[in-house]
Amino acid sequence: MTQQIKPDALTRMMTEHGQITEKAAFFRQALPVIKMGKNHDQINSFAAFLNEFIVSHFKYEEDAIFPRILERGDGQDIDFIRSLKADHVRILALVEDFFVKLDELLVQENPSLIESLSAKGVEIVTQTLQHAQTEDERLIPLVRIHFPGTMTSGTP
């Protein structure tokens, strides 16, 4: 049976989308600085962002939102959710690779590894922003359909 969604859970999804978009836009600007070998704190901040927002948000969607839409949706809805899940797998693989490179950097600081981390971070941010835009445009309307009465009329 699908997990019951509380009204504030959907607000959580919308709030996190806003936070992810805002933080990702910040890191899109900050990550090139890392490429020059400066501001290692930015790397740690980005790693925290990945854990706090990307990994946990994807898990939330897959545990609380997607199952209900898969259960109640039509063929197009199901295909869309499957494509979002494929995005999650692809982005999480990039995140995992980022953390592997970060562990290597902790063992031995290396300018090429810093550049590699920066490039991986930019790739994660770019794909995450594209994914979030798709979800905002197509997932939110599905949530309104498949979770009736859980959102205030006219607001996410």
Here the CATH number for the domain that contains residue 16 is 1.20.120.520
Q: What tokens does 156 get?
A: 């996410």
- When the pLDDT of each residue in the chain is averaged and rounded to a whole number, the result is 81
Residue-wise burial string across 129-143, b where 16 or more C-beta atoms lie within 10 A, e elsewhere: eebbeebeeebbebb
Instruction: State the average pLDDT over residues 7-12.
Output: 62
Output phi, psi for 16, to 5 deg: -65, -40
Domain holding 81, by residue range, is 8-146
pLDDT at residue 148, rounded to an integer: 72
CB 88 within 8 A of CB 66: no
The per-residue pLDDT for range 75-119, each reduced to its tens digit, is: 999 999 999 999 999 999 999 999 998 888 778 877 788 788 888
Q: What is the DSSP string of 75-142?
A: HHHHHHHHHHHHHHHHHHHHHHHHHHHHHHHHHS--HHHHHHHHHHHHHHHHHHHHHHHHIIIIIHHH
The per-residue pLDDT for range 78-90, each reduced to its tens digit, is: 999 999 999 999 9
Residue 3 counted as domain residue: no
The per-residue pLDDT for range 15-29, each reduced to its tens digit, is: 887 888 888 777 776
Residue 149 has pLDDT above 80, yes or no: no
Please indicate, yes or no, whether the overall pTM of this predicted structure exceeds 0.85: no
C-alpha distance across the termini of the chain, in Å: 25
pLDDT at residue 152, rounded to an integer: 44
Residue 97 counted as domain residue: yes
pLDDT at residue 36, rounded to an integer: 47
pLDDT at residue 55, rounded to an integer: 92
**What is the domain count for the chain?**
1
Residue 99 counted as domain residue: yes
Question: Cα–Cα distances in Å, from 123 out to 75, 94, 114, 118?
Answer: 31, 8, 14, 9
